[in-house]
Amino acid sequence: MSKQKLVSLKQNKSLKKCNKLPKQVTKEEFNKYFLPSLSLPKRSKKPEIPLWRIFNYILYQLDTGCQWEKIPVKYSSKKKKAEIHYTSVWRWFDRWSGDDSLNKAFINSVKLLKDKKKLKLKCIHGDGTNSIAKKGVSK
C-alpha cells in the first residue's frame, strides 16, 4: 500500500473519532457549562420543571428540526398532563436566542475546549449555511 493511501486512511479514522454535538445534557453538565451563560428571569416564578430538561427539549428540536408542537414532552402521571407545554419550551428558546445567551454558551464552550486542549480543528464540518446565495439559479 502506498504512503499516500496510508495517510488518507489514518485521516478517515481520525475523522470518525470526532466528537459529535450533544443531543442531551445531564443536570451536572447543564449547571456547569450552560447555566452560567443563560439569562434567567428576575421576578417571575421558577419553572415547574428543571431548566436542564427544558434545554434538552430545545436541543431535541434543534437536532431533529421538528415543529415545536411535535417535541416528545414527557407526561406527568400525577397531573395526567404534559410536564411542560411546547409554547413554554419555545419561549425559553426565544428568550435565550434573543438575548444572546445561546451565543455566549457556545463561545464559552469553545473556550473551554481550547483551554483543555480538546478542540479538534480537523473535525469542523461545513454545511454551506453561511454561503452567500444569489437570486435565481445560474447554469
Please give the average pLDDT of every successive group of 10 residues along the chain, which has 139 residues: 50 52 85 90 85 94 93 85 93 95 89 81 61 60
| pTM summary value | 0.70
> CB of 74 within 8 A of CB of 95?
no
- Predicted confidence at residue 32, as pLDDT, reads 87
Query: How many structural domains comprise the chain?
Result: 1
- Which runs of E-coded beta strand occur in 17-129? 75-76, 81-82
Domain membership of residue 88 (yes or no) is: yes
Q: Is 40 helix (H, G, I), strand (E, B) or coil?
A: coil
User: Given this model, what pLDDT does residue 55 score?
Assistant: 95
| 135 is a domain residue | no
8 A C-beta contact, residue 34 and residue 55: yes
Cell (9 digits) for 129: 449555511
Domain hosting 85: range is 22-107
